[in-house]
Structure 1
Amino acid sequence: MTREAPQVAGSGLLGTLVELRDDTVRAYLRAQRDHGDVVRFPVGPPGLRAHLYAVFSPDGVQQILGTRAAGFRKDNSVYAEIRASIGNGLLTSQDDEYLFQRRLVQPLFTRRRVDGYAAAIGTEAAATADRWAARPDATVDVASETAEFALRAISRILFGADLDETVDVVRRCFPVLGEHVLNRGANPLRSPRNWPTPANRRAAAAQRELYAICDRIIAERHASRTAPEGDGDDMMTLLVKARDADGSVLDAQAVRDQVLVFLLAGHETTATALAFALHLLALHPKAQERTHTELDEVLGGRTPAAGDLDRLPYVTMVLKEALRLYPSVAIMGRKAVTDTEIGGFRIPAGADVYVSPYVTHRHPAYWDDPEAFDPERFTPQAEADRPRYAFFPFGGGPRACIGQHFAMLEATLALATLLQRFTLTAVDTEIPLELGMTMRAAGPVRVRLTSR
């Protein structure tokens, strides 16, 4: 018999709005501990109150993202704000538009094509290591450093010779748009975007600047249909040249939408994963020593390449464990299309439904001592013994992240490059988190460097 999901207690005035706004993932963790795997949050004042549903079990996550994905759409307020800010690319598009985009973009993310990006990743990873070696105090903030590395790497891959011109614009504009998306997406009383409020004006100016530089480069690529001389095919050029089976192409706006999604997904997520992998290794010398040993045995001091990915299993295990503890996307939202049932509980049509890698990755039924760092959780046998959706940092089902291999390649090559040259010791041990467009450190994540 289908039941109503247990409800988290909140205030009579705002329900759980303040609790969710102040620390969403902690609110979710408490709700799972106190109420179980399907939970209802009352949000907003009486008369405007909505009920949000959160699902934490691997089976429930699999239904929402995988087996019953057609019944849970990307129609909530956050996705609407993303569409308005950076366009309707693969992250937010749906139905026939999504399928069309996916067909045209998929060839850019085959394993062979992604492995071809390794040289660009390696260039930026080596530059980061050189910058670290020149630090007079031998201390770096790996959060800011990996953010800079990942932004430059994805910009090099997307824009080729136009790298330097775009990096500064993206560095300044994306945080403004990201903050605007989140503030509006979480506010049930948000004003129209065209009202001249200070926040709307700041976001509009950032959007204009970001769009302008993308549009100019796209126009140049359309005019030449080739990448800048000597630079090979950057990803933007490949998007401009992409053709569907019937000859359909992405127009200039659609190319821009995809580029901005790749910028968002391709630098903040990788930066978070890499920063926390370095932080966790700095806190755990034995795991770091084992990582050094594997790198020395496999690479022998040479530059890592795409072909080394499968030869570095422990590095991969470290990255997966970092993604378990600190998934870059901590919460994923959908809207229920029809009345449905998850885990014996009713989910009404039109309800906002959320799953949380952060919470499910800590579910005590599937992870022993879930707050501990233990890369051995990701041996092949251990992975085979867990439900598929006990670990889903890249989502799952038909909307799984198209850039999974790219993200793992980028993080592996960067981690290998940096750890070949340095031993890390943690300076900051407790790292507060903040939930923006992605989850990230709320302050510095400093480590002390010792050259190897």
Structure 2
Amino acid sequence: MAVDTTIGTEVPGPAGTPLLGSLLDLRSDSLGTFLRAQQAHGDVVRITAGPPGLRAQMYCVFSPEGAQQVLASESANFRKDNVFYQEVRDSFGNGLLTSQDEDYLRQRRLVQPLFTRRRVDGYAGAVAAETAASIGGWHDGAVVDVSDEMMRLALRAVARILFGTDVDETVGVVDRCFPVIAEYVMRRGYSPANFPRHWPTPGNRRAAAAMDELYGVCDRIVAERQAAGEAGEGGQDLLTLLAAARSDGDAGFDATELRDQVLVFLLAGHETTATSLAFALHLLARHPEQQARAHEEVDRVLGGRPPQAADLDRLPYLTRVLKEAMRLYPAAPVIGRRAVAATEIGGYTVPAGADVIVSPWVTHRHPQHWPDPDRFDPDRFTPEQEAGRPRYAWFPFGGGPRACIGQHFSMLESVIALAMILDRYAFDAVDPEVPVTTGITLRPTGPARCRLRARPRP
């Protein structure tokens, strides 16, 4: 009988440089660094980064089984206690994304009823209206950057659903302030050492000004809505529902807590969906055969009418296109946790207190589960294909008890918007490749331009 000798032995990983380890590689191309580490060293890898005395170690877990262990089956042992989540918490508040323990359980109890399928399906009309407005200025032969366009569309859609009629001012503030705060969070979250936030450095002052402006507009809308004591758009905007949320023995959210939830929904609700939509369009533009199949399904199912929530199940190929786009370009390409106790993963011991990384970017390309992993093939997501893979071979929405509460909303918005866009236009890729990097979410570092071809109207 063979004996597993890996338990308790040193976790393998890249050597890096004597002075900085893999710090420069992570800063220049973190996603490529993780992918190369898996290819060279396997599914459990230790990466060191930083100078002596400030050196950090990350234990990277790349198998579906390991991701399931970290996010689901042993999730209580892997907490959001690392430096990165603290920076997000300090910048965007203690909402569902960052809260823990009783705070998280209470927030989830209050918010969960607002994200049932029936409730979310009620937002289809708002998504369709914002999509129609967003593409209303497009025309035959125009070149559009689908990354910029989908970011604008997704932000307007989530702002309308959150605030009802209070959209335009909010969109301008978010568009201006979010990139400043996100860059600040990333720089501090992955730096070996940081100045205190209250020191008047240029970076601290820029971030503080952006946070003041963002917090200010959210606080004003929350205060006005609470003072009015009435709903926004038809009584169904999400802020009104959040303000009215109650559970047994719980009086609901105060003004600060409402602001924190709004900030999380703005952050998670627009950048993630925008990424999925943009890369779905970019990939279809590069693959005419798959684009033709998507057009055929839209024409056959919708016949020129606007899509509704009930159409999601009737558009399976569009759903597969989006899932494949999320496989290749997951909006959350890296997910971090911190181990509470020493744990065995994949035959290796991950020590207590270790920073642990799972990466949809890498696991979604695992050659054991994804043949020819860089090829765009929506038919990987037929029911038969999905049934033959491990549950966590694909996890763009995270997993376990901290899985994204808005995943049905994201799919609803994405399918409706994609269907409406494909009903009107065909796409030719201008930029064959779109480089990306990881911030709080995945983001392109170059344009994703497509040339539009208007389709005949019925």
Give the TM-score taking structure 2 as reference length.
Answer: 0.97
C-alpha distance in 2, partners of 1:444/1:48?
36
SS in 1 for 2:164: helix
Other-structure match for 2:31: 25
> Which residue number in structure 1 is paired with residue 3 of structure 2?
none
Q: Map of 1:51-70 to 2, 5 A cutoff? A: 51-70=57-76
Name stretches of at least 5 consecutive residues in structure 1 with no aligned partner: none
In structure 2, distance between residues paired with 1:232 and 1:416: 28
Within a 5 Å distance, the mapping from 1:236-385 to structure 2 comes to: 236-385=239-388
2:144 paired residue number: 140
Q: Counterpart in 2 of 1:211?
A: 215
How many angstroms apart in 1 are the aligned matches of 2:329 and 2:57? 27
Match of 2:412 in 1: 409
How much does 1:48 deviate?
2.1
- Runs of 4+, deviation exceeding 6 Å: none
Give how far 1:390 is off. Answer: 0.3
Q: Distance in 1 between matches of 2:390 and 2:367?
A: 13
Aligned to 1:395: 398
- 2:182 corresponds to which residue? 178
Q: Partners in 2 of 1:440 and 1:157 — Cα distance? A: 24
2:131 aligned to 125, 144, 150, which one? Answer: 125
1:132 and 1:68 map into 2 onto residues whose CA distance is 49
1:130 is displaced (CA, Å) by 1.1
Instruction: Give the C-alpha shift of residue 50 in structure 1.
Output: 2.2
Give the distance between the partners of 1:7 and 1:393, measured in 2 at CA: 25
**Structure 1 residue 441: Cα displacement:** 1.3
Deviates most, 25-34 or 439-448: 439-448
Q: Is the 8 A contact 1:327 1:357 kept in 2?
A: yes
Which one of 70, 94, 104 corresponds to residue 98 of structure 1?
A: 104
**2:4 equivalent in structure 1:** none
Could you give the per-residue CA deviations for residues 205-235 of structure 1, whole angstroms, max 9, x where no partner exists?
Answer: 000011111111111111122223x543211
CA apart distance, 1:3: 2.3
Please give the TM-score of this superposition, normalised by the length of structure 1. Answer: 0.98
Could you tell me how far apart the structure 1 residues matched to 2:381 and 2:44 are?
27
For residues 448 and 231 of structure 1, the distance between their equivalents in structure 2, rounded to whole angstroms, comes to 38
Identity %, equivalent residues: 63
The aligned counterpart of 1:88 is 94
Q: 1:46 deviation in Å?
A: 1.3
Q: Which amino acid aligns with 2:167?
A: L
In the alignment, what sits opposite 1:201? 205
Deviations 1:245-276 (A, max 9, x none): 11321111110000000000011000000000
Match of 1:48 among 50, 54, 74: 54
Which of residues 431, 436, 447 in structure 2 aligns to 1:433? Answer: 436
| Matches of 2:254 and 2:9, distance apart in 1 | 48
CA contact (8 A) 1:226 1:233 kept: no
Aligned-pair RMSD on alpha carbons? Answer: 0.9
Structure 1: distance between partners of 2:416 and 2:386: 23
Determine the structure 1 residue equivalent to 2:158: 154
Partner-residue secondary structure (3-state), 2:166 = helix
The match for 2:224 is: 220
Look up the SS of the partner of 2:16 in the other structure. coil
Letter in 1 for 2:337: R
Instruction: For residue 160 of structure 1, report the CA deviation from its aligned partner.
Output: 0.8
Aligned to 2:133, the other structure's residue is in SS state helix
Partner Cα separation in structure 2 for residue 246 and residue 411 of structure 1: 37
Between the two proteins, the alignment pairs up a number of residues equal to: 449
**CA distance in 2 between partners of 1:379 and 1:16 (Å):** 39
1:179-221 Cα shifts (integer Å, max 9, x gaps)? 0000000011111011101010000000001111111111111
| Counterpart among 417, 421, 426 of residue 424 in structure 2 | 421
Shift of 1:27: 0.2
Q: CA deviation at 1:20?
A: 0.9
Structure-2 separation of matches of 1:286 and 1:174: 37
- Measured in 2, the distance between the counterparts of 1:65 and 1:182 equals 22
Helix, strand or coil for the counterpart of 2:14?
Answer: coil
d(CA) in 2 for partners of 1:205, 1:119: 35
Task: Tell me if structure 1 keeps the 8 A contact 2:283–2:325.
Answer: yes
Q: Deviations over 1:321-352 (max 9, x none)?
A: 00000000100000000111100011011110
Q: CA-to-partner distance for each residue in 1:82-112, whole Å, 9 max, x for gaps?
A: 1100100000000011000000011111101
Secondary structure of the equivalent of 1:204? Answer: helix
**Alignment partner of 1:7: what SS?**
coil
Q: Which amino acid aligns with 1:370?
A: P
**2:242 & 2:405 partners in 1: Cα distance?**
15
Out of 14, 23, 31, the residue aligned to residue 8 of structure 1 is 14
Conserved 8 A contact 2:55-2:192: no
Partner residue of 2:42?
36
1:9-55 Cα deviation digits (max 9, x unpaired): 11111111111111111000000000000000111111222211100
The answer to whether the 8 A contact 2:31-2:437 is kept is: no
Distance 2:351 2:197 in 1: 29
